[in-house]
Amino acid sequence: MSKKYLIVVAALLAVGILMISACHDNRAIQSTNEVPAPAVKMVGDQIPEEIDNPLDIEVDACYLDGYSDMLSLARDAYLVVTGTVLSQEDHPYGYSVISKVRVQEVIKGVTEDNVIDIVQMKDRPLLEEGKSYALFLGDQPDADWYYVLGGCCQGIFDLQGERIFASNEGNRTFIESGQGMELIELRKLFG
């Protein structure tokens, strides 16, 4: 064999060994007596030991789902209401806010309650106390609250008298800027 051939083979062998050792997890060879850490279910950003009463909570949220038009948003809404925000409080686990809304009119769906709870993620545009809105809501199974459709913000429209207006960047394309939409037009979507 030529010297050049041996150098190439040795170089390839060295590169192969380096690649294998780089892909190998050295932490796996610490001790045969080591017990793997148990899987820990995270709740928000807290570990279970930090929670007074750890619960297995399921949350439905349309965090990433978005709508391209008002008709699609209306079709998927479980409940559409107009109402005024009475108060807000932090959710007990800290990842969201619960707003109490006095219902003025139910446009789609059914609720027997005059005041409903709406849960929103804290990192999204939140409802404001004292303001009136038209809200497109999703049902929260096994809970006593609703959530806002469309990434937690597309289903929020400012209500001024008998007109609704886009309230955020998420729904600006649904209603002509500045013009608003008559509530009667919104009601026609459902009836």
pLDDT tens-place string over residues 113-171? 999 999 998 877 789 999 999 999 999 888 889 999 987 789 999 999 999 998 887 78
Segments of the chain assigned E as strands: 79-90, 96-108, 115-121, 132-139, 145-148, 156-160, 163-166, 181-182
Domain around 128: 70-188
The reply to whether 64 falls in a domain is: no
The DSSP call for residue 50 is G
The reply to whether 22 falls in a domain is: no
> What is the dihedral sign for C-alpha 129, 133, 136, 139?
positive
The reply to whether 88 falls in a domain is: yes
Q: Which residues pair with 133 in a beta bridge?
A: 83, 158
Of 11-25, 38-52, 112-126, minimum mean pLDDT range: 38-52
The reply to whether 10 falls in a domain is: no
pLDDT at 33 over 70: no
The reply to whether 51 falls in a domain is: no
Question: What is the rounded CA–CA span in Å between residue 7 and residue 25?
Answer: 29
pLDDT at 51 over 60: no
The reply to whether 162 falls in a domain is: yes
Question: Residue 109: which CATH number?
Answer: 2.40.50
The reply to whether 157 falls in a domain is: yes
pTM over 0.85: no
The reply to whether 76 falls in a domain is: yes
User: How many domains does one find in the chain?
Assistant: 1
Predicted local distance difference test score (pLDDT) of residue 86: 98
Predicted local distance difference test score (pLDDT) of residue 40: 45
